[in-house]
């Protein structure tokens, strides 16, 4: 009689503790692409200050970075949030309208910061406890938020608040003649908090675990349902903050703001290396994805091409990164 040695059982991987190569490979690939694109733009058009060009990318895309951060949380759980562009528009309209009728600035800002998370909470609860697909629920949220925009106002509402005007127009000189705007400081704070939460807290580990394998996460004693609801609250909060940043950048609120912005956020997250099926990716990758999109826009503008070329190049890059993700997933199996 022959004896067979049973194979050793595979240990469950701890979320966020993957090997260096597998964990950072998407981020390194996105960073290399950004460096190549940015270097090409600088060399081709001989910008006098590459540093200020980079800072301008942060200034122009601060609201999109914040939006992509919130989308990262959702996609890491294997979900999607199509409502964020409309929430951005709703935030700009609410802020402008409340200021117009005489509300104090802190109160108006607080209301904006409540609306996004509240909508996210409702959508998250429906997704989790009624087991409806996130695509359908957030699509309904997108229509709801956009409809509320038109209910508040169909016209452009100017923002004349002196505090917000200073916040939106003031320059902060980093060194010599290199400058940023206060919106960049807010964006960097949001990114820093998101990095800490995802990589240093139990909630962050739960988010990764839910995206990797929800059943395993529940067996490990993690609050999978609570995390799945919470990521939509986080996404709604980030959308509200992004709306505030866009409001002070444009100094107006308009119901047609943010059309297609949710797709830009999703594209940035995917190009940044976050896996659409969940469980893999980093916030910094999403930031790099936004910078790649901003560099493409700069290239298209410098070449005096029509704006639709930005969409074409973004679509090609998005498709390539999805195919690369698919190939890497097969190799992992």
Report the pLDDT value the prediction gives residue 103, as an integer from 0 to 100.
96
Report the pLDDT value the prediction gives residue 17, as an integer from 0 to 100.
44
Report the pLDDT value the prediction gives residue 24, as an integer from 0 to 100.
81
* Bridge partners of residue 95, in order along the sequence: none
Closest CA to 271 of 101, 72, 12, 49: 72
Report the pLDDT value the prediction gives residue 8, as an integer from 0 to 100.
39
Of the candidate CATH numbers 2.60.120, 3.30.1360, 1.10.3470, 1.10.287, the domain formed by 24-38+49-328 belongs to: 1.10.3470
Report the pLDDT value the prediction gives residue 134, as an integer from 0 to 100.
97
Report the pLDDT value the prediction gives residue 242, as an integer from 0 to 100.
98
Q: Residue-wise over 90-128: b if at least 16 C-beta within 10 A, else e? A: bbbbbbbebbbeebebeebbeebbebbbebbebbbbbbb
Alpha-carbon span 64 to 75, nearest angstrom: 16
Report the pLDDT value the prediction gives residue 330, as an integer from 0 to 100.
62
Residues of the chain with pLDDT under 70: 1-22, 328-333
Alpha-carbon span 132 to 126, nearest angstrom: 7
Provide the residue ranges of all domains of the chain, joining segments of one domain with +.
Answer: 24-38+49-328
Report the pLDDT value the prediction gives residue 4, as an integer from 0 to 100.
41
Report the pLDDT value the prediction gives residue 197, as an integer from 0 to 100.
97
């Amino acid at each position: 009689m022959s004896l067979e040695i049973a194979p050793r059982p595979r240990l469950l991987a701890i979320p966020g503790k993957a090997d260096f190569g597998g964990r950072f490979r998407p981020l390194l690939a996105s960073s290399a692409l950004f460096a190549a694109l940015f270097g090409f733009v600088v060399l081709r058009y001989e910008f006098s200050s590459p540093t200020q060009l980079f800072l301008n990318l942060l200034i122009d895309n601060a609201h999109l970075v914040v939006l992509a951060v919130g989308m990262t949380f959702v996609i890491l759980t294997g979900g999607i949030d199509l409502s964020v562009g409309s929430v951005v528009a709703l935030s700009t309209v609410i802020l402008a309208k409340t200021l117009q009728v005489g509300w104090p600035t802190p109160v108006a800002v607080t209301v904006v910061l409540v609306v996004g998370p509240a909508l996210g909470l409702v959508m998250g609860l429906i997704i989790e406890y009624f087991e409806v697909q996130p695509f359908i629920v957030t699509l309904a949220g997108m229509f709801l938020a956009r409809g509320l925009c038109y209910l508040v106002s169909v016209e452009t509402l100017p923002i004349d608040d002196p505090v917000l005007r200073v916040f939106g127009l003031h320059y902060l000189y980093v060194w010599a003649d290199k400058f940023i705007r206060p919106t960049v400081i807010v964006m960097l704070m949001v990114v820093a908090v998101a990095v800490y939460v995802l990589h240093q807290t139990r909630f962050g580990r739960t988010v990764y675990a839910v995206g990797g394998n929800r059943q395993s996460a529940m067996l490990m004693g993690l609050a999978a349902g609570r995390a799945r609801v919470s990521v939509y609250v986080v996404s709604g909060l980030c959308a509200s903050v992004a709306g505030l940043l866009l409001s002070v950048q444009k100094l107006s609120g308009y119901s047609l703001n943010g059309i297609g912005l949710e797709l830009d956020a999703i594209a940035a997250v995917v190009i940044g290396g976050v896996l659409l099926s969940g469980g893999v990716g980093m916030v910094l990758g999403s930031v790099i994805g936004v910078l790649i999109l901003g560099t493409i826009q700069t290239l298209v503008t410098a070449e005096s091409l029509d704006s639709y070329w930005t969409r074409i190049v973004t679509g090609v890059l998005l498709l390539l990164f999805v195919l690369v993700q698919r190939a890497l997933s097969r190799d992992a199996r």
